[in-house]
Amino acid sequence: MSELGFLGIAEASDLLRAKKLSPVELTTALLQRIDRLDKDYNAFIAVTPEAALAAARQAEAEIAAGRWRGAFHGIPYALKDIIDVAGLPTTAHSKLLQNNVATADAAVAARLKAAGGILLGKLSTHEFAIGGPSFDLPWPPARNPWNRDYFSGGSSSGSGAGLAAGLFPAALGTDTGGSVRNPASQCGITGMKPTYGRVSRRGVLPLAFSLDHVGPMTRDVRDNALMLQVIAGHDPGDPASADEPVPDYTASLREGVKGLRVGVIRQFYTKDIAAHPEMAAAVEAAVGCFAEAGAEVREVPLPPLQDFSACGQVIMLAEAFAVHERWLKERPEDYGARGRERLLAGAGLRAADYIQAVRWRLQLRDAAAAAFRDVDLALTVSSHDPACRIDDDTALAATYSRQARMAFNVTGQPALVIPAGFATSGMPLSLQLVGRPFAEALLYRAAAAYEAATGWTKRHPAGLAG
């Protein structure tokens, strides 16, 4: 049973379909692991063992009867606690919503349920996906399984921590300025921010309407592709949802990168913001890996990283304040200090500031589109530094400025973060792959080639592999 902690979606699915493993056995093993380990990592706000075991028994009966729903049938997963599940609280890790029970499933929760997935519970987040890591909320912040004294990234912090600790094989996060990719970077797992509109956000608490994304988080590339397969697709209930066909995201995973034109956005980690030497070296090693595998590597110039960050920050803070204005006026004391401070920053913005940022965004998007005409995909840094201590306020503040993720919330392009080695501190290093709109399958293809060449996803935190 202890060996099931790091079993991925693809491998578990094969065993479940062949009846060599039962959904009840897998779910029971993970619930026991959560009970034993999560007190150290705080990945969960709430575990739902009774409902999980009931769903596992149903999945087991269906599989036994030959009613196979697909690769996600019988797979346990968990959800960031800003995603609605009917009958369960959606707290956003905040005192304001402690008793907020959802009346309907979010679109993504409904799709995972329909695919036969087994929900284990709701996961820690930064308060309202912006205020954290915080110690003045009803639940403690998640901690990094590679070293529990270190930050797990955010705001999808419980998703990253739980995956790295082997508590579940799949989770959903949300990404407004990097909140899927930050914990993926810090925890050494795989996180996809799909193209804006690729995945429905109906039933997900908003942070900033025009920047919000929902994305899959897993330990490896194939599993990520399998999870995106389930949640992607048009939803008329989300006004930003794109009516685009959904390809088979696993079809080209073995095709390699030979002949692909891979751009390097080197300025983001050398000129605009100098990355930690070990992080920069990891990205450069990846450049060499792609070149050695037959990709045509070339440098891609973009506007300064600070332009993307400033534009995205104005839009995010203005839209977030619009969401929270009433609560900030009526119940400011019920926010954690970090969440309140960050949300109130939007109160000083003028309508003119927001409109100018929206116009600027179009210019930045067009510049990125022009740069990507000559490449199939690009690679760059995600975080400029490995994870810092969770009690180091100065380093934590720098975490949100020393990153190259907001750029692709501004442009809406798909961006995938994968493990790229380890620093001398023992903390994970990472790599970000970026594509043209709706080119997620190509990102998975390139990432799978790099993953196979390096083997970074096969490493797990010491003491947790069993």
Strand 190-193 with 415-422, pairing: antiparallel
Whole-number Å distance between alpha carbons of 49 and 297: 49
pLDDT tier for residue 463 given thresholds of 50, 70 and 90: confident
Residue 187 phi, psi dihedral angles, 5° rounding: -105, 0
pLDDT of 246 > 90? The answer is yes
Side chain identity at 361, as an amino acid letter?
R
Average pLDDT over residues 51-66: 98
pLDDT tier for residue 79 given thresholds of 50, 70 and 90: very high
Average pLDDT over residues 2-16: 93
Q: Model confidence over 83-141: pLDDT tens digits?
A: 999 999 999 999 999 999 999 999 999 999 999 999 999 999 999 999 999 999 999 99
Per 3-state DSSP, the chain is made up of helix, strand and coil in percentages (nearest 5) of: 45, 15, 40
Average pLDDT, the chain: 97
> Sheet of 213-218: strands edge to edge?
44-47, 118-123, 76-80, 170-175, 213-218, 190-193, 415-422, 428-435, 377-380, 261-264, 296-299
The domains of the chain, with CATH numbers, are 2-458 (3.90.1300.10)
Q: Which residues are catalytic?
A: 80, 155, 179
pLDDT of residue 33: 97
At 14 the three-state DSSP class reads helix
pLDDT of residue 3: 81
Collect all residues with Cβ–Cβ distance below 8 Å to 254 and sequence separation of at least 6: 448
Q: Model confidence over 336-359: pLDDT tens digits?
A: 999 999 999 999 999 999 999 999
pLDDT of 368 > 80? The answer is yes
At 193 the three-state DSSP class reads strand
Q: Model confidence over 376-411: pLDDT tens digits?
A: 999 999 999 999 999 999 999 999 899 999 999 999
pLDDT of 435 > 90? The answer is yes
Average pLDDT over residues 62-66: 97
Q: Model confidence over 299-340: pLDDT tens digits?
A: 999 999 999 999 999 999 999 999 999 999 999 999 999 999
Residue 292 vs residues 19, 257, 259, 285: alpha-carbon distances, Å: 41, 10, 11, 10
pLDDT of 2 > 60? The answer is no
Residue 215 phi, psi dihedral angles, 5° rounding: -145, 155
Whole-number Å distance between alpha carbons of 185 and 191: 8
Whole-number Å distance between alpha carbons of 226 and 206: 25
pLDDT of 273 > 80? The answer is yes
pLDDT of 452 > 90? The answer is yes
pLDDT of residue 466: 56
Average pLDDT over residues 8-21: 97
**The pTM is what?**
0.98
pLDDT of 465 > 80? The answer is no
Express as a percent the part of the chain with pLDDT over 70: 99
